[in-house]
Chain A
Amino acid sequence: MATQTLSYQRPSSLADSRRLVLETGGGTALRRPTDHPRFFEGWVTRPDVVAEGLRQVAQVAASEFWRRDRFAAGVDPVVTSDGRMLRFESFSLCGGVQARLDLTPEVLNGEVLDRGTTNIDINEPLRRLLTGVPADGLLHLSVGSDGLVATTADGAVIERRVSLSTRWLRGFAEAQQIASTFELRGELDGRHAATFLTSLPREGRGWVVPAGRGWRISSRAAPGSVHLAGSHRLASMLPLVRHARALRAYGPGVSLGAGPVASAWELALPGVNFVLMLSPDASRGFSGEGAALTALAAGGAVDDAEEIGRLLHHQPRLEPDLLAEQIGMTAGRVRSALACLAVAGRVGYDVTEASYFQRDLPYDAASVARLNPRLRQAEELVAAGAVTIVDDAVAEVVSSDRVHRTRVRADGTTACTCQWWITHRGSRGPCKHVVAAALARDQGPAA
């Protein structure tokens, strides 16, 4: 559990239902390093949609979907400005849902002041006020404000201490890597999107497949289907569904009879995209999925990530092919490096544009990768000389006084005889023994 202190100059506010000031704290800004970056000043169209979207992003941050709890406050959302659009992101307390609200240039009419990432304060009174934003006219939006006035009683900034579990931090970061395997699998128009979302059962679970003009939930996976578990986790879309132009479903490729996987759901609104990414099950967070362990354990990926990290300047899109050309790496290495950066909380992945974007999580980002327990334990096993390479495929790893045999199958997948693998059968990434074997192989005979 890590405690982070989020500091704001004053609470975010909404004056006259027309002037929304979102206070910022921490993070990074490209043009002018500051504790309270200013990213945008101007007008937004569709004020009711923007206000409701922001409210739902904050709601997800305060939700614990597994226990169906919704608290007054969660971890403050993160906003990223890439000079073109604003992305507001939050991550549920249970670690199984990520929400993102993209304000595209279609609704933004003002000046983008800077690029970077920071926390924004969406407090409980503001959340309530956001419900009162009328649909007509324009809304003046300030993301960040000048730091001249301190309105708290003691004249100091507002400090909010939040406890961030390592699971939460890792989940937020690893969800990006999982999303990078997704592709668009289906789309509904606004009317059928409303029908689908409002008719979902409370605890719906299954595979979403087309049925006529709409979708239905099937009991088993088929190519092209998208997994949905814990359909109540899509409830944040319901207040917005009246404005929907389309609903799009994204997921990884699956074969017939596949097991649960994560998915992403995009509600296309006028000038705004609201995206929810769901873990494979309401009881599972993203942190345990082991999404990037293979990449992290791959030799050289961390060094490549450092090199690519130096090239990040809050570009709107990070194209692996362009980056590969720029630094003379193969596209595959660049992708592995981007996976490492995602796990380190330095880049996000936008499924709607199928591209990475820079987003340095305004937390102790360096600790995110370090905190991966399986990787850490695997490194400890290698350091302790617990790994014996038997042949190209098989290795023996001594752990807790037991010998576990890991092997690489003909199809490239891995397996182990440990209890963890037996329980999950590879559905949550490699176990620490498989990772240790991979690390030992990379290090050569000396290991």
Chain B
Amino acid sequence: MSAPTMEELLRLVAAVDLAPLVARLDDLDDATRKKLAKPVRELARSGEWGDPPRHLARGLSLLGPAVLPDARATAAWIRRSAGWRHSFDERSFDQPGNRIETLSPTSALVVEVLLRRDPSWLPALVRELADRLRFDRYNPDDYLLIERLRSRAGLPPPAVPVFAAMWVRTAWRSRRNEVDAVALVRAEPAYAELVPLAFEVDEIAGEMRHRDQLRRLADSGTVDRGVLLDALVARLQRGGRPQATNEFVRDLESLAPTLEEVAARTRDHLALLPPGSATSVATLAQHHLLELHSEGRLSPDEVLEMSRSVLARTEKKLLRAQLAHLQAHADAHPADADLSARAVSMALDNAAPDIQRKAVDLLNRLAPRLTPATAALIAAAGDALPSDLRQRLITSLGTPAPKPEAPLPQVELPPPPNPPGPVVPIETVEELVEELASILHSEPLAARGADLDRVVEALPRLGLLDREALRRAAAPVTSAGTYRYYQEHARHLDFTLRGALVALLASCLGDSRVPQATGSGGRLGAPARACCVRIFALADSVRQDPLVRVVALPSQVNGTIAANDLHTRLADAAAQSWSPDPVDLEQALLRLDLAGTQSEPFAALGSAAGRQVSEWVRAGGHRPPTIQVARAREYLDTLNMGSEERAAAKPRSSPMAEVRAAVNDPLSLGPLWSELARWSVPSGGLTVGWAPDDPFETWPLVLPHHPELVAAHLLPELSRARQTRSQGAAALVSLTETADTVGPALLLGLAYLTGGKHQEAWSAATDALLILASRHQLDAQAFGEVLAMMLERGDLVAKRLIIGLGDAARGGAAGEIWTALSHVLSHLLRGARTVVGVVDLLVLAAEVALLTGAQGAIDGLDDLASRTGRTRQVVEARRLLKILDQLPTAR
């Protein structure tokens, strides 16, 4: 029969039944294949988005393998056509509704076409397909195609990790039948080579332990046990995602390697110990190596290498296990004292003071049995120990006193922050649009510092100057989706900063459709709501009187307005016959720097705004509101809880700061102050969540003279730092730069960040503590009391305080941190409630005491230190007590 033409093939390709196409493809000769390759490729890209026309897709998936010239092109075609071959109608499901993992009918026809064609490059094609295979837990069709093709062609399974993993995933876990991996490999021994390869794929981690298949493969001898062990150890050496690594550790444990097998892989296990490997990996290696050591099967060099690697890590459990083992070994083998001591001395370099102390204790016990050479070696290794520990070590070793320790560097606090710089108004419409667009189009909303105010000030000013120029320049904004969205949804607008900016821009451009503020601000904080209220009000004012301009632009980047600047603006307003927007004027007053400001020049302006400012200056601004710590119960969503769960649920409560406006305020409350000067705990509970549209970094600029008040509003966001990443940390650092006094809200905020879960929080806390310390504004005693209160109530975890406080102490605020810590410890040691993590605070206190040269007593420390026993808490308490008693001589 003659070779088919393209037209004939097209008819067959479009048919529902593809069997005739498969049969007709047998009649292709090489010349026709060559001729058809190009039109077939073009056809496959002739549909929408460069895909094949939908009705031809299934048939085309067969046509490629029939005409393409080589393995690479065919493999690429089969890979690309994976989506064309699958149809929901072709999937099979068992009775419970699970998908039956069988080759799809179209893929089976692809295999049929290839086998009938039988090209010389079929083995290369199988390899190419395996190389391109991706691990797919839910759709094994690509794997099944390769498997069918290679088995029917009589080819061995390709030794490719992903293919091996898909084989394990698919063949070992059939839902319909109990598949025995041992029987599978026995039926086709070539698969034995694939089992260790599967470990290369993260997604297969743990799969092979299903029904103990891995262990049975090894025990039955079907797969070489040594090869499996080697592959797993190599996999652990490589590292990777923690979850997968942990599963591979369990895989290795499931094989229960014997001592002989571990001994044959000693160096491999040693390589798993240095810092950098996962904790689970190091734990496993340490366990095996300690067993070897107990059996006397490690050389001295290997013992030292093991200790050096483990004792450079940070996991306390591993460190203590290592020291405990060395102690037990030294007790059981007195002759090994030198080696044990050298191994223990590796811990002297560890950064954890409690580990150093434990190592010193152990070395003290070993000291009488050490040779002079070893004693000298160990004395040298202890050079960098804290002074009290070094003294103890030297005394017990009986070695000559080493050269005097270099004095601790006098760590100076960073200098106080520079005075805030001026805010430079935007001069050109291009710059205005760049700044406006970068705020509007940021996700989540990002408006840094005074940028928002610069944009708000420039819009009416430059719009008045040349509205058409602004319209032309603003085209990238007005033609973008955000602007259109807010215009189209003007009546149902959410009350957000984006909406407010669009409203102001629309007013400045004279657009007819201006968004209206119709929402309440939802979960926006009060400072953000105040921003929105002002900008929406400005938009209204500008629409009614295009001459209106902004008077609340800060003079400095910290948000304050100089009296001269405000006077000039109001004088301009009077001269040009426009009145400032009342809300904007209130914002200006809240920002006005009252130091040295006279009321008379403003009164002399003769305008209503001037009189208002004059009255404000005479009154000295609003009376500061009262801020008190109150516990806020967290809102508990019981909607999806069962009755028992609801009954058992106990909502947590956290300390917040309630704000009450002063009752004797001589000034009337404007809309902004009404919003800002009050906050009470919601009766239904406090809901705190991610706030992507809350520009926290602009908050300090709303009330530059009331940082404590801003901090009170910021607390719900800062309290999130205990569980997740808080967005308010940068704002708190800015507040500490402007604060003259530090009240309860700022201290609570500092405490939340210091006890934060993530590094970003405690880094910001350290920055804030150092800024306050450099300005001598940190009331360390009050801070310590806040920390103690929160620790006692379970609001904070003691262990999480260590890094933030320790960094602040080492960064120069050791005196302040010592004061805070000593108050925390006094409260906790005297308190009736046991707080977890006190021992970590004791360890930190010892370090800080040495830094500051602190002396004196901590309430309750004597009692704790005098308890019997050698718990960590008691031992660390004794050490701290000793430092406080002996410090003058120790230093």
Chain A residues near B411 (CB, 8 Å)?
Answer: 211-212
Within the assembled complex, what's the spacing in Å between the Cα atoms of A205 and B314?
19
Chain A residues near B142 (CB, 8 Å)?
Answer: none
Chain A residues near B241 (CB, 8 Å)?
Answer: 68-69
Within the assembled complex, what's the spacing in Å between the Cα atoms of A201 and B811?
19
Mask of B250-294 contacts with A, CB within 8 angstroms, 1/0: 000000000000000001101100111100000000000000000
> Given A216-B766, A219-B733, A405-B473, are A131 and B271 also a contact pair (CB < 8 Å)?
yes
Chain B residues near A235 (CB, 8 Å)?
Answer: 239, 276
Is B240 part of the contact surface with A, judged by Cβ < 8 Å? yes
Chain A residues near B437 (CB, 8 Å)?
Answer: 417, 422
Within the assembled complex, what's the spacing in Å between the Cα atoms of A404 and B476?
8
Chain A residues near B314 (CB, 8 Å)?
Answer: 198-199
Is B698 part of the contact surface with A, judged by Cβ < 8 Å? no
Query: Is the pair B810, A212 in contact by a Cβ cutoff of 8 Å?
Result: yes
Mask of A405-427 contacts with B, CB within 8 angstroms, 1/0: 10100000001111101110100
Within the assembled complex, what's the spacing in Å between the Cα atoms of A124 and B811?
44
Query: Is the pair A211, B811 in contact by a Cβ cutoff of 8 Å?
Result: yes
Is A191 part of the contact surface with B, judged by Cβ < 8 Å? yes
Is A403 part of the contact surface with B, judged by Cβ < 8 Å? yes
Within the assembled complex, what's the spacing in Å between the Cα atoms of A211 and B806?
10
Is B758 part of the contact surface with A, judged by Cβ < 8 Å? yes
Is A70 part of the contact surface with B, judged by Cβ < 8 Å? yes
Is B801 part of the contact surface with A, judged by Cβ < 8 Å? no
Chain B residues near A214 (CB, 8 Å)?
Answer: 810
Is A284 part of the contact surface with B, judged by Cβ < 8 Å? no
Q: Which of B304-312, B653-661, B704-712 lines the interface with chain A?
A: B304-312
Interface centre among A132, A235, A236, A422, by most B CB within 10 Å?
A422
Mask of A390-412 contacts with B, CB within 8 angstroms, 1/0: 00001000000011110100000
Chain A residues near B112 (CB, 8 Å)?
Answer: none
Chain B residues near A402 (CB, 8 Å)?
Answer: 475-476, 479
Query: Is the pair A220, B730 in contact by a Cβ cutoff of 8 Å?
Result: yes
Within the assembled complex, what's the spacing in Å between the Cα atoms of A217 and B200?
35
Query: Residue A419 contacts which of B242, B276, B476, B803 (CB distance < 8 angstroms)?
Result: B476
Is B586 part of the contact surface with A, judged by Cβ < 8 Å? no
Is A354 part of the contact surface with B, judged by Cβ < 8 Å? no
Is A241 part of the contact surface with B, judged by Cβ < 8 Å? yes
Query: Is the pair B276, A239 in contact by a Cβ cutoff of 8 Å?
Result: yes
Mask of B792-814 contacts with A, CB within 8 angstroms, 1/0: 00000000000100010011000
Is B530 part of the contact surface with A, judged by Cβ < 8 Å? no
Is A197 part of the contact surface with B, judged by Cβ < 8 Å? yes
Closest partner residue, chain A, to B351 (CB atom) = A195
Chain A residues near B312 (CB, 8 Å)?
Answer: 194, 198, 241-242
Least CB distance, A395 to chain B, in whole angstroms: 11
Mask of B425-440 contacts with A, CB within 8 angstroms, 1/0: 0000011011001100
Least CB distance, A320 to chain B, in whole angstroms: 35
Closest partner residue, chain B, to A195 (CB atom) = B351
Query: Is the pair B313, A422 in contact by a Cβ cutoff of 8 Å?
Result: no
Is A204 part of the contact surface with B, judged by Cβ < 8 Å? yes
Is B409 part of the contact surface with A, judged by Cβ < 8 Å? yes
Least CB distance, B583 to chain A, in whole angstroms: 29
Mask of A196-235 contacts with B, CB within 8 angstroms, 1/0: 0111010111100001111011111010000000000001
Query: Residue A216 contacts which of B301, B313, B807 (CB distance < 8 angstroms)?
Result: B807
Is B763 part of the contact surface with A, judged by Cβ < 8 Å? yes
Mask of B300-342 contacts with A, CB within 8 angstroms, 1/0: 0100010011001110000000000000000000000000000
Query: Is the pair A59, B441 in contact by a Cβ cutoff of 8 Å?
Result: no
Query: Is the pair B733, A242 in contact by a Cβ cutoff of 8 Å?
Result: no
Q: Which of B843-865 contact A (CB under 8 A)?
A: 851
Is A135 part of the contact surface with B, judged by Cβ < 8 Å? yes
Query: Is the pair B409, A212 in contact by a Cβ cutoff of 8 Å?
Result: yes
Query: Residue B811 contacts which of A132, A135, A212 (CB distance < 8 angstroms)?
Result: A212
Query: Is the pair B767, A219 in contact by a Cβ cutoff of 8 Å?
Result: yes
Within the assembled complex, what's the spacing in Å between the Cα atoms of A402 and B476?
8
Query: Is the pair B473, A206 in contact by a Cβ cutoff of 8 Å?
Result: no
Q: Which of A112-149 contact B (CB under 8 A)?
A: 124, 127-128, 131-132, 134-136
Within the assembled complex, what's the spacing in Å between the Cα atoms of A72 and B230?
14
Least CB distance, A170 to chain B, in whole angstroms: 25
Is B760 part of the contact surface with A, judged by Cβ < 8 Å? yes
Query: Is the pair A219, B764 in contact by a Cβ cutoff of 8 Å?
Result: yes
Query: Is the pair A238, B274 in contact by a Cβ cutoff of 8 Å?
Result: yes
Interface centre among B301, B312, B803, by most A CB within 10 Å?
B312
Query: Is the pair B811, A220 in contact by a Cβ cutoff of 8 Å?
Result: no
Query: Is the pair B730, A219 in contact by a Cβ cutoff of 8 Å?
Result: yes
Least CB distance, A268 to chain B, in whole angstroms: 17
Within the assembled complex, what's the spacing in Å between the Cα atoms of A220 and B697?
13
Interface centre among B242, B271, B473, B479, by most A CB within 10 Å?
B271
Query: Is the pair B811, A425 in contact by a Cβ cutoff of 8 Å?
Result: no
Closest partner residue, chain A, to B272 (CB atom) = A131
Within the assembled complex, what's the spacing in Å between the Cα atoms of A219 and B448?
15
Chain B residues near A425 (CB, 8 Å)?
Answer: 434, 438
Is B193 part of the contact surface with A, judged by Cβ < 8 Å? no
Interface centre among A132, A197, A222, by most B CB within 10 Å?
A132
Query: Is the pair B202, A69 in contact by a Cβ cutoff of 8 Å?
Result: yes
Query: Residue B476 contacts which of A70, A256, A422 (CB distance < 8 angstroms)?
Result: A422
Query: Is the pair A191, B240 in contact by a Cβ cutoff of 8 Å?
Result: no
Is B238 part of the contact surface with A, judged by Cβ < 8 Å? yes
Mask of B760-784 contacts with A, CB within 8 angstroms, 1/0: 1001101100000000000000000
Q: Which of A230-288 contact B (CB under 8 A)?
A: 235-239, 241-242, 256-257
Within the assembled complex, what's the spacing in Å between the Cα atoms of A59 and B240?
10
Is B40 part of the contact surface with A, judged by Cβ < 8 Å? no
Query: Is the pair B760, A205 in contact by a Cβ cutoff of 8 Å?
Result: yes
Query: Is the pair A70, B238 in contact by a Cβ cutoff of 8 Å?
Result: yes
Is B566 part of the contact surface with A, judged by Cβ < 8 Å? no
Chain A residues near B234 (CB, 8 Å)?
Answer: 124, 128
Query: Is the pair B767, A220 in contact by a Cβ cutoff of 8 Å?
Result: yes
Within the assembled complex, what's the spacing in Å between the Cα atoms of A191 and B347?
12
Chain A residues near B434 (CB, 8 Å)?
Answer: 415-417, 421-422, 425
Query: Is the pair B760, A131 in contact by a Cβ cutoff of 8 Å?
Result: no
Chain B residues near A422 (CB, 8 Å)?
Answer: 434, 437-438, 441, 476
Within the assembled complex, what's the spacing in Å between the Cα atoms of A206 and B305?
34
Query: Residue B240 contacts which of A69, A127, A206 (CB distance < 8 angstroms)?
Result: A69
Within the assembled complex, what's the spacing in Å between the Cα atoms of A72 and B159?
14
Is B396 part of the contact surface with A, judged by Cβ < 8 Å? no
Within the assembled complex, what's the spacing in Å between the Cα atoms of A412 and B267?
58
Query: Is the pair B759, A204 in contact by a Cβ cutoff of 8 Å?
Result: yes
Chain B residues near A394 (CB, 8 Å)?
Answer: 430
Chain B residues near A217 (CB, 8 Å)?
Answer: 759, 763
Query: Is the pair B430, A415 in contact by a Cβ cutoff of 8 Å?
Result: yes
Least CB distance, A201 to chain B, in whole angstroms: 4
Closest partner residue, chain A, to B233 (CB atom) = A128
Within the assembled complex, what's the spacing in Å between the Cα atoms of A241 and B309?
10
Chain A residues near B242 (CB, 8 Å)?
Answer: 68
Query: Residue A417 contacts which of B409, B430, B803 (CB distance < 8 angstroms)?
Result: B430
Chain B residues near A131 (CB, 8 Å)?
Answer: 237, 267-268, 270-271
Within the assembled complex, what's the spacing in Å between the Cα atoms of A222 and B767?
11
Chain B residues near A127 (CB, 8 Å)?
Answer: 237-238
Chain A residues near B207 (CB, 8 Å)?
Answer: none
Least CB distance, B818 to chain A, in whole angstroms: 14
Closest partner residue, chain B, to A407 (CB atom) = B430
> Given A404-B476, A422-B476, are A242 and B729 also a contact pair (CB < 8 Å)?
no
Query: Is the pair A72, B200 in contact by a Cβ cutoff of 8 Å?
Result: yes
Other A-B contacts than A220-B730, A417-B430, A423-B441, 18 sampled, CB-CB below 8 A, are: A59-B238, A70-B240, A124-B234, A131-B271, A191-B349, A191-B384, A199-B803, A206-B760, A211-B807, A212-B810, A214-B810, A216-B763, A218-B763, A238-B275, A239-B274, A242-B308, A404-B476, A415-B430
- Interface pairs (16), CB distance under 8 Å: A68-B240, A128-B230, A128-B237, A132-B268, A135-B305, A194-B275, A194-B312, A194-B351, A199-B314, A201-B759, A203-B759, A212-B851, A219-B764, A220-B730, A402-B479, A422-B434
Closest 4 A/B residue pairs (Cβ)? A238-B276, A131-B271, A212-B810, A238-B275
